[in-house]
Structures are given as C-alpha cells and as structure tokens.
C-alpha cells in the first residue's frame, strides 16, 4: 500500500522540515558554501558555528568533496619514534593518528616503544598491484569466445592507450574469467606512488572503449566494474594475492622487554594468540588478526588516504610465537594496503603536514609509507595482545577511553 508523504517535524524545534532538495555544488567557493549553509539552516532550524568556522578558503577542497559546508575536526595524536628497517623505510618515524577512540594512541605508542627497544621492526613491501575488473555480456558463448580471441591478440595495444592517459600507470597483466555468457577481465596495474583507484578506472575505461570500438564482436552491454576487483571490500582473492601493496613485518622482543614494557610474558602472548586465532577462524573472518582497522583508519584519516579502503587493507595475518629463551617472535602480513603519497586527499593542508611528519610526502614515498604502516600495525597487534593476555584491556579503556558526555 502506498503511503501518503507528509512534512516531517524537526525533533528539536517542532518546525516543519521542507522536503525540497538542497542545491548541489560541485565547484566549491565561498559564495556557494554560504548559500548552501543558509539553505541548510532554514531547512533544519539549526546553526553550525563550529562546523563552519574553518578559517580556510573552501576552494582548496575542489576535487575532494562536493556540497562543502565545513570541517569535521578529528583529534590527532602521534606515535613514536617507530623504528623501521625496510627497502624504503629505514630509520625512526613519528606517526600521526587521527581518532576519537581514547586509549588507541596510547596502545600503539606502547607497542612502538617495545619494538624500538628491540632494535626496530623489519618491514618489507613484497608486491604491488591495483585491479579493475570490467564485465561484458554476450548473446552466447560463441560470441564471447570470438571476443576473447580478438582480445588476446590485441593485448599489446593497451599500454600505448594507458600512456596517453597516465604517466604512472603500467598494465602488469590481464586475466579472464568466463561464466556462461559473461566475461570478466581483471586488469592489474602498477600505479607508482598513487593509491590508484581513479587511475585504474580511467585507464580501464579507455581500454574497454577501444575494445568495443575495434572488436568485430560486440557485447550486448558492459560495466566498468563487475564487483570482483576487491574495491572497498575484504575478499579471499585479494587476501591470497595483492591489492595495493603487500607488506610483511616482523620483530623479536626479548623476554625482558615483554615483561617491562608490555607487562606480560611471551608465553601468555603466545597462548592468547593461539586462542584468538582459533576464535577468528570459527567466526569465518578472512585472515586472522586483532585490530588492524584501528591503526589503519586513524593513519589513513590523518594522511589523506581513502579511509574506506580500510575495508580491504585491514585483512591480514598476525603471528606470535614464544621462543625457548623467553623471547617473542611476532609478524604481520598485509596483502591489501591501498595507499599513496600523491593524489586524492594527500594534497590537503593538514594531511600534507602529517605526511611530511612521516617523511612520506610526494613522489617516491609510497613504499616507505606502506612499510611504516605495516610496522605501525605490528606495534598495535603486540600491545593489544599483551593487554588481553595479561587482563589489562578493560582497565586501560576504563582509564583512557571513557569520557563524560558534554
């Protein structure tokens, strides 16, 4: 039964709320922002003094947001120094984390301190690739097979098309998957220092349009993404391969560091890791880790990454093993770090400062960033496992994570 639509009442004021849409502003400027805020205040009966008191020129956010109305402030803390030994990251780094979760920065900071005392974390970027997976529908398998034959013969034509669009993107390989009269092609790219989602979308679109124009066998329809590339989601395929950057990091902590800094023992941490890994397997999760998303979301927000990519970036494996001498071996492997040091939100003012704080601003820095990110994640895994193994977890959150409502 169709229901009659009525004007809703504002819960706070009792005033009627207009159902007419807000104006849409793609291009951001002061005049448009003022008009949008005026209209929003009229429709809601509310003012937004903190949200709108930015002190910055709205135009600098063009390309990052639409319908701009202000700045949402997120407190930013710092962890470090974090000692890292990698292929690109080699030294000590101070890592900014933007979060509203009390106890988070303290936990990562404790883990970083333990690792620094142990000589630093070895963190290595193993592999790089970003995917886009268009799908094509044909009338039948015969037409699909003819299209695939033409595609395989023309693959050498694709890189010049990419070069005309991007100076960074390189096509690594393309894989086909056939399901009935549907053909999915997974294009896998190297994207240099950009996270690459927009880059691979634009390049793949150009390739697809070339194929549709040149191939004698046309699909009945096609889509630029068939929802199989792993974009913004955890997938078993990406877990076993790579999406973005695949990084692994390891540390060995002496029994004394585990005791004095982490306030537990290697044996207890080993026992907790085994128990929690069994629990995560039973839950059906992809991977086995404690809280990658906590550190990655805070780091991504501070440094201008696409925060939604935490959905795939937080997939991975943590391992902890007690050694006979009382020391602890620990490692993390993250196969889906979608990160960049150019493009997207990395050019915004505070995000640039946070990247500069890490010595990761600009071209040539994305592998360093990924290796630092993996080291950060390992620090967080050690600290939370220590807290849970020694019964400190609840107390820490009661002390640092609770706040009276204002």
Catalytic sites, residue numbers:
101, 306, 397
Give yes or no for a contact between 222 and 208, defined as CB atoms under 8 angstroms apart.
Answer: yes
Cα 128 to Cα 73: distance, rounded to the nearest angstrom: 33
Chain-centre distance for alpha carbon 133: 19
Cα 66 to Cα 33: distance, rounded to the nearest angstrom: 10
Paired residues of 173 in beta bridges: 188
Paired residues of 337 in beta bridges: 245
Cα 400 to Cα 73: distance, rounded to the nearest angstrom: 20
129: which 2 tokens? Answer: 């690739």
Give yes or no for a contact between 204 and 186, defined as CB atoms under 8 angstroms apart.
Answer: no
Closest listed residue to residue 136, CA positions, set 65, 225, 233: 225
């Amino acid at each position: 039964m169709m229901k009659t639509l009525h004007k809703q009442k504002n819960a706070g004021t009792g005033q009627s709320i207009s159902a007419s849409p807000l104006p849409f502003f793609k291009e951001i400027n002061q005049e448009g922002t003022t008009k949008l805020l005026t209209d929003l205040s009229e429709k809601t009966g509310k003012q937004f003094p903190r949200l709108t008191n930015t002190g910055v020129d709205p135009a600098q956010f063009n390309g990052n947001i639409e319908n701009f109305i202000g700045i949402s402030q997120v407190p930013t803390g710092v962890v470090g120094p974090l000692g890292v030994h990698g292929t690109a990251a080699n030294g000590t780094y101070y890592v900014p984390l933007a979060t509203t979760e009390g106890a988070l920065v303290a936990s990562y900071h404790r883990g970083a301190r333990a690792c620094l005392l142990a000589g630093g974390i070895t963190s290595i970027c193993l592999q790089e690739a970003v995917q886009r997976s268009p799908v094509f529908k044909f009338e039948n398998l015969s037409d699909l097979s003819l299209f695939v034959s033409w595609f395989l013969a023309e693959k050498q034509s694709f890189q010049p098309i990419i070069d005309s669009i991007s100076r960074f993107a390189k096509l690594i390989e393309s894989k086909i998957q056939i399901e009935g009269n549907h053909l999915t092609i997974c294009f896998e790219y190297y994207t240099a220092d950009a996270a690459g989602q927009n880059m691979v979308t634009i390049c793949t679109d150009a390739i697809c349009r070339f194929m549709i124009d040149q191939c004698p066998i046309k699909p009945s329809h096609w889509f630029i993404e068939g929802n199989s590339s792993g974009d913004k989601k955890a997938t078993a395929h990406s877990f076993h391969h790579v999406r973005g950057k695949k990084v692994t990091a390891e540390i060995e902590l002496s029994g004394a560091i585990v005791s004095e800094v982490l306030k537990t023992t290697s044996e207890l941490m080993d026992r907790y890791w085994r128990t929690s890994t069994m629990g995560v397997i039973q839950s059906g999760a992809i991977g086995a880790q404690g809280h990658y998303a906590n550190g990655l979301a805070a780091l991504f927000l501070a440094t201008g990454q696409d925060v939604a990519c935490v959905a795939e970036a937080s997939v991975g494996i943590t391992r902890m093993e007690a050694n006979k001498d009382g020391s602890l071996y620990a490692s993390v492997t993250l196969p889906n770090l979608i990160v960049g040091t150019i493009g997207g939100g990395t050019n915004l003012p505070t995000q640039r400062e946070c990247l500069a704080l890490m010595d990761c601003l600009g071209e040539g820095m994305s592998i360093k960033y990924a290796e630092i990110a993996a080291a950060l994640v390992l620090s967080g895994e050690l600290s939370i496992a220590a807290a849970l193994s020694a019964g400190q977890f609840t107390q820490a959150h009661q002390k640092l994570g609770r706040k009276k409502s204002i």
